[in-house]
Amino acid sequence: MMMSKVVLFSGETVGIIGLGRIGQAIAKRAEGFNCPICYYSRTEKRDSKYKYYPSVVELASKCEILVVACPLTEETHHIINREVINALGPKGYLINIGRGKHVDEAELVPALLEGLLGGAGLDVFENEPTVPEELFGLENVVLLPHVAGFCHL
């Protein structure tokens, strides 16, 4: 019988890439679990109570859970790359609810397989509808169809 690793959310530092409407809603919910919140966005939000980091790599190095909630642009394509994955590290978790092309899956999959990243929760994929086969058997990965657009924040 396989045993899955239990991941505690309460009290973990949550980093959010993109502190727009959706990012703020995620932050509000994470606060309910006593999670310190930090973020990266194109510009610092002067009215925000959350800690701002000027780079995604720095943000990833300061949190246990990294949530991608930004729009897909030329600048955010592959915003999650090997450098960010390494900064998040073997105890870190990546959650992508944005767009599949935010994450460089050629870097993500080996990092998950080699234990360089603690885990991932993905509901979007780089080459949809294709999902990398290697992800299906991993206990540290949760895969879902993209349903975030059907919720009301």
- Please pick, among 58, 82, 134, 146, the residue that the annotation labels catalytic: 146
H helices within 52-134, ranges in order? 56-61, 82-88, 105-113
Smallest Cα–Cα separation from 108: which of 83, 144, 76? 83
Encoding tokens for residue 2? 């396989």
Phi, psi of 100 (to 5 degrees): -60, -35
Q: What is the rounded CA–CA span in Å between residue 59 and residue 16?
A: 8
**For residues 99 and 70, is the Cβ–Cβ distance under 8 A?**
no
- Per DSSP, 96 falls in state E
H helices within 64-136, ranges in order? 82-88, 105-113
- Please pick, among 44, 75, 83, 128, the residue that the annotation labels catalytic: 128
- Please pick, among 12, 64, 99, 105, the residue that the annotation labels catalytic: 99
Reply yes or no on whether 152 is catalytic: no
Reply yes or no on whether 29 is catalytic: no
Residues with catalytic function: 99, 128, 146
